[in-house]
Amino acid sequence: MTAAGAVPAERAQAALRIDLAAIQNNWRLLRDRVAPADCAAVIKADAYGTGLEHVAAALANAGCSSLFVAQIDEGLRARAALASALPRARLFVLNGLAGEEAHARACADADLVPVIGCDEDAALWAGEAKRLGKPRQLALMFDTGMNRLGFDRRRAGKIAAWLAGAPLLRPVLVASHFIASQAPQDARNALQIERFEELRRAFPGAPASLANSSGVFLPQQPFYDQVRPGYALYGGNPTPGAPNPMAAVVRLEAAILQIREVEAGETVGYDGRWTARRTTRLATIGVGYADGLPRSATGTDSEAGGEGFVAGERCPIVGRVSMDLTVIDVTDVAPGSLAPGARVELLGDHIGVDDLAARSGTIGYEILTNLGRRYARSYVSGTGAHDRAKGSARA
Ligand SMILES: *Cc1c(COP(=O)(O)O)cnc(C)c1O
């Protein structure tokens, strides 16, 4: 199956392979780490660029029953994708209702649970419950330091009192979000935990959730009732600076279009930002910034950029990444092993998303969510519904 706009394999210049079994294994690793807390999954932004429908189904098959999206339309897509596998999946919408009655109605119709962090959205959702005459679930987001979305934590008591007067609203989650959980020594983690524990006392009995991917690896183990990993599921390293405990999910291979040799002193690419210091063999690949390879992966005379992995060697990107093309220095690759059509790994077992990100001055999250539309996409299928079938009567 190809995603909308994807290029058929026989004509694509690069192949993107997404390993759903690895996503399932990553989820199981996190689940086992936080048990008995529930391990939800964040699948916003097209499951971090990997394909929301495929990922939602694979996670449901592994046993994940709570998923978080950012926007309502992502929630509708997830609901449709899970209609047969997990019709009762709990789908949270992190960005809430945007103060729009139409959003509240859409959430109610698809049985999505809005994550609410302001009075306007709270009033809208209460109004929707009243209109329907039916109980409605909601999650409450509190700010403990991000200053982005969420109620002021000092209003927890007031919000709890207001909820007590809205009998149709059922708070199924009290949440907050770390600002620096990838840095375990950062004192703000402990501060946020302290603030969270204080505010959640206003909601006795309501399940609590604080940890994202990196939060799952904090020494304080702030798992509460549910954790909300995203990045780690997709193979990103939740413990920067330490080895990555997660399995690689994304493999991106580009075809070499042309090979040339240049003399010392020649430059490569727009503006001639990289100069050959020796006789150099260059390989041009059909991937550029229009495909999500950051322009900042450019390698210049003064600063190294990204790399491609080819025939057992790491080969630097040289010159500016252009829109549709990128050049790598393959001088150190055995000459016989390269020709147009040969494959260069840009992401995979040798080059992780965090690796490319670090060499491009960005984060792996941005690498993943920018994965381009011109790749031939394929999926390595995950395991079926065996987790839930375990213990069934099948011989
Ligand atoms: C995106 C997001 C997450 C997931 O974060 P990761 O770092 O990708 O694990 C969890 N909670 C909230 C509120 C988010 O916005």
Could you give the domains of the chain?
A: 20-233 (3.20.20.10), 250-394 (2.40.37.10)
pTM listed for this prediction: 0.95
Closest residue by Cα to residue 116 from 90, 154, 142, 79: 142
Phi, psi of 167 (to 5 degrees): -65, -20
Decide: 41 in ligand 1 pocket, CB within 6 A: no
Q: What is the pLDDT of residues 272-310, one digit of tens each?
A: 999 999 999 999 999 999 999 999 999 999 999 999 999
Q: Facing residues of 364 across strands?
A: none
Give the least confident one: 116-120, 247-251, 333-337: 333-337
Query: Is the CA virtual torsion 222, 159, 94, 174 positive or negative?
Result: positive
Q: Per-residue pLDDT for 1 more than 70?
A: no
pLDDT for res 3: 52
Tokens describing residue 126: 């209460």
List Cβ neighbours of 366 (8 Å cut-off, separation of 6 or more). Answer: 294, 357
366 pLDDT band, cuts 50/70/90, is very high
CB 136 within 8 A of CB 168: yes
Return the ligand 1 atom nearest residue 141 CA.
Answer: 13
- pLDDT of 337 > 90? The answer is no
Would you name the residues annotated as active-site residues?
Answer: 44, 270
Average pLDDT over residues 11-15: 94
69 secondary structure, DSSP code: E
Ligand 1 center to 89 CA (angstroms): 19
Closest ligand 1 atom to the C-alpha of 182? 7
Position 384 scores a pLDDT of 78
Average pLDDT over residues 321-332: 98
**Residue nearest to ligand 1 atom 10, measured at CA:** 212
Do residues 308 and 346 touch, judged by C-beta distance below 8 A?
A: yes
Give residue 105 CA to ligand 1 midpoint distance, Å.
25
Least confident of 67-81, 119-133, 330-344: 330-344
Instruction: Tell which wins on pLDDT, 5 or 290.
Output: 290
Ligand 1 in reach of 42 Cβ (< 6 A): yes
Residue for token digits 């149709």?
Answer: 168
Q: What's residue 395's pLDDT? A: 31
CA-based nearest residue to 225, from 210, 202, 208, 248:
208
pLDDT confidence of residue 9: 87
Q: Tell whether ligand 1 has an atom less than 6 A from the beta carbon of residue 231.
A: yes
Token output for 98 = 């945007």
229 lines ligand 1 (CB under 6 A): yes
Peptide bond between residue 8 and the one before it cis (omega within 30 degrees of 0): no
Q: Please, what is the average pLDDT of the chain?
A: 95
- The closest-lying atom of ligand 1 relative to the alpha carbon of residue 44 is 1
Residue 41 has pLDDT above 50, yes or no: yes
CA of 134 to the centre of ligand 1 (A): 30
State mean pLDDT over 170-195: 98
- Residue 334 burial by CB count (10 A; 0-12/13-18/19+): exposed, middle or buried? exposed
Q: Is the pLDDT of residue 219 over 90?
A: yes
Residue 211's nearest CA partner among 171, 172, 247, 175 is 175
3-state secondary structure of 237: coil
Q: Which two tokens stand for residue 307?
A: 């790399």
Tokens for 156, please give them: 């927890």
Ligand 1 mean position, distance from CA 272 (Å): 40
